[in-house]
Amino acid sequence: MRRVRGVRARIVLAATGAVALLLAAGSAIFVVAQRQMLVDSITSETVQQANEIAVALDAATPPSDLATGAGEQWFVQIIDADGAVVASSTSIEGEQALTDLTTGTGQTEVVHASNLPLGEGDEFVVVARGVAAPDDVATVVVARSLELVADSTAVVVRLLLIGFPIILGLVALASYVVAGRALVSVETMRRHMSQIQSTAQLDARVPEPAGDDEISQLARTMNGALARLESSVDRQRRFVADASHELRSPLATIRAAYEISDLHGGASGPDGDVLAELDRIDSLVSDLLLLTRLDDHGTTLHLAEVDLEDLVLDAARRARLRSSLDVHVEAPPARVYGDRAALERAIRNLVDNAVRAANARIDLRVQLRPDRAAVELEVEDDGPGVPADDRQRIFERFVRLDDSRVRDSGGSGLGLAIVKEIVHAHRGTITVEDGAKGARFVLTLRTAPSFDERDGT
């Protein structure tokens, strides 16, 4: 059996189930009590009838004038000491004795029987009372059918069966509405939390309902957690930003000193190594600053149509200047919709990653999808490739693979993380797969804006 999902559904099922159990128990008790009340009432009337006849017999009234009965529901017999019927109601004249009960004078006995020699198996209440008749001791027998009790009970049961599902339906509807109203605040908090998660706006808060119930306390707890999280993240961002800014000043000073030394004929070996390391540190600081801004404010895009082939050709020229690799380009005209500077940074990072990993060649291919809704850029190298287990992890920050993938010291572990942030901001995708020899990165971008972007929303 599948588990029922949703608090609202569980509340409805619990409330309806509880009411169903209570109704079933109450209905059973009511039916039994009502039947017993009717039986007691009929029994009391039957005993009273037998007493009245006995009193008349004690007064020496002729039996033939007393055993008259009242319709088919009442049966009266006067039985002598030998068990012979000396008088009876007109509806059972000539019938044998209804019962073989015998009692002493003035004593009354009441039984329920369904095996009387009359009727069709109906249940009867039978009252036998002993009296001193003028000639001898006699027994007054009065039998009353309980058919009315059975009929009344059946009517009540039918009414309960009709009303049972109606009541349960009303309870389910009422609990559904009440639970929905009670969970409105929870749903509102969920939507706000989802929006906070998607936009990373940690300064936002969920609305706090009035009152001091559990939902209000939950909202206050969530806002307190958000406030602490915002404070912690702000401290981390300020630390990274401050550290990055503080690093840039001495780096600039060191760079200037070594460049001046190099211009005046200083030793090229050590200075060249230091300058290379300075370039790497400067790139790392720039990446840290960019990621800090992305975390703090999100990726602010200046959207326009961009010639993707121009960005790819520029990245290819830069790769040829920086390395001796064979850079092969297939870049037919293709326009995408995005931020030129951000896309240029993403493509440059992808090409730099391929340059560091390649043995002799990298391939850059631009192709328009058949539906013309998107453009794909493939950046492929002939290096060692990316293991399948690491193809998601490499887009995380400061993740660097084995030495086979980063033979030089140029990688900072932030380039692909920046690519991922920029591509997701453009609602595109970035994946890595096996190439002909090494790894193939596939960047997919849209060719046209969506309606909300055109409207500026």
What pLDDT score does 234 carry?
74
Q: Where among 150, 176, 205 does a domain terminate?
A: 150
Q: Are 343 and 416 in contact (CB under 8 A)?
A: no
Residue 165, both tokens: 């599902």
User: Measured between alpha carbons, how far is 236 from 230 in angstroms, rounded to an integer?
Assistant: 10
Structure tokens at 207: 């609305």
Residue 403 lies in a domain: yes
Helices (runs of H) and strands (runs of E) counted in the chain? 8, 12
pLDDT tens-digit readout, 221-267: 888 887 887 777 776 777 666 666 666 666 777 777 777 776 766 55
pLDDT at 405 (0 to 100): 42
Residue after which a domain boundary falls, among 270, 295, 320 = 295
CATH number of the domain within which 45 lies? 3.30.450
Enumerate the β-bridge partners of residue 79.
Answer: 85, 139
Query: d(Cα 102, Cα 233) in Å, to the nearest integer?
Result: 98
Q: Is residue 201 part of a domain?
A: no
Which pLDDT score, from 0 to 100, does residue 69 have? 47
Per-residue pLDDT, 51: 84
State which residues form the domain around 278: 214-295
Amino acid letter, residue 152 = S
Contact 145, 126 (CB under 8 A): no
Report pLDDT for 364: 92
Phi, psi of 315 (to 5 degrees): -65, -35
Report yes or no on 171 lying in a domain. Answer: no
Output 322-326 pairs: Cβ under 8 A, ≥24 positions apart.
Answer: 322/355, 323/355, 325/355, 325/358, 325/360, 325/361, 325/362, 326/360, 326/361, 326/362
What integer pLDDT is reported at residue 93 of this predicted model?
74
Q: Where are the beta strands (DSSP E) in 61-200?
A: 74-80, 85-88, 108-113, 124-132, 137-145
pTM for this predicted structure = 0.46
**pLDDT, block means (10 residues), the chain with 457 residues:** 65 89 91 90 86 76 49 74 77 76 79 72 82 73 85 89 90 87 77 70 72 77 80 71 66 73 59 63 71 63 85 90 88 87 88 88 89 88 84 73 47 76 87 87 80 44
Same domain, 288 and 304: no
* Alpha-carbon Rg for the chain in angstroms: 49
Output the pLDDT for position 134. Answer: 61
Question: How many angstroms separate the CA atoms of 265 and 445, rounded?
Answer: 48
Local structure of residue 3 (DSSP, 8 states): P
Answer yes or no: do 319 and 255 share one domain.
no
We report the CATH number of the domain holding residue 349 as 3.30.565.10
447 part of a folded domain: yes
User: Are residues 366 and 318 both part of a single domain?
Assistant: yes
Q: With respect to residue 198, please indicate whether it lies within any of the assigned structural domains.
A: no
Q: How many residues does the chain have?
A: 457
H or E stretch covering 248: helix 214-263
Cα–Cα distance measured from residue 224 to residue 219, given in angstroms and rounded to the nearest whole number: 9
- Same-domain check for residues 291 and 308: no
SS3 at position 428: coil
CATH of residue 250's domain is 1.10.287.130
Question: If we measure between CA atoms, which residue out of 303, 292, 384 comes closest to residue 336?
Answer: 303
Residue 29's pLDDT is what?
93
Q: Does residue 57 lie within any of the structural domains? A: yes
Tell whether 17 and 143 lie within a shared domain.
yes
Alpha carbon distance 68, 268 (integer Å): 141
Give the C-alpha separation, 404 to 126, whole Å.
105
Other beta carbons within 10 Å of 107: 12
Distance (Å, whole) CA 181 – CA 292: 41
**Do residues 136 and 27 share a domain?**
yes
In a domain, 205, yes or no: no
Number of Cβ within 10 Å of residue 277's Cβ equals 12
Domain match, 137 and 248 both: no
**Same domain for 307 and 435:** yes
Strand locations in 184-267 (E): none
Strands (E) in 162-222, as ranges, are none
User: Do 347 and 372 fall into the same domain?
Assistant: yes
Q: Which two tokens stand for residue 18?
A: 């509880």
* 74: number of Cβ within 10 Å: 18
User: Rounded distance, CA 58 to CA 52, Å?
Assistant: 10
**Cβ pair 247, 281 in contact under 8 A:** yes
- CA 139/CA 7 separation, integer angstroms: 70
Token pair of 230 as six digits: 């915002």
Report yes or no: 138 and 103 within 8 Å, Cβ to Cβ. no
Q: What confidence score (pLDDT) does residue 297 get?
A: 55
Report the DSSP pairing between strands 361-368 and 326-330: parallel
Q: Give the bridge partners for 439, in sequence order.
A: 434
What's residue 298's pLDDT?
Answer: 57
Among the listed residues 409, 411, 408, 428, the one whose alpha carbon sits nearest the alpha carbon of residue 420: 428
Contact 346, 423 (CB under 8 A): yes
Instruction: Kindly state whether residues 95 and 58 are assigned to the same domain.
Output: yes
Reference 49, options 148, 143, 132; nearest CA is 143
Residue 167 lies in a domain: no
Whether residues 34 and 110 fall in one domain: yes
- The structural domain count of the chain equals 3
Q: Are residue 323 and residue 402 in the same domain, yes or no?
A: yes
Among residues 119, 150, 181, which one ends one of the domains?
Answer: 150
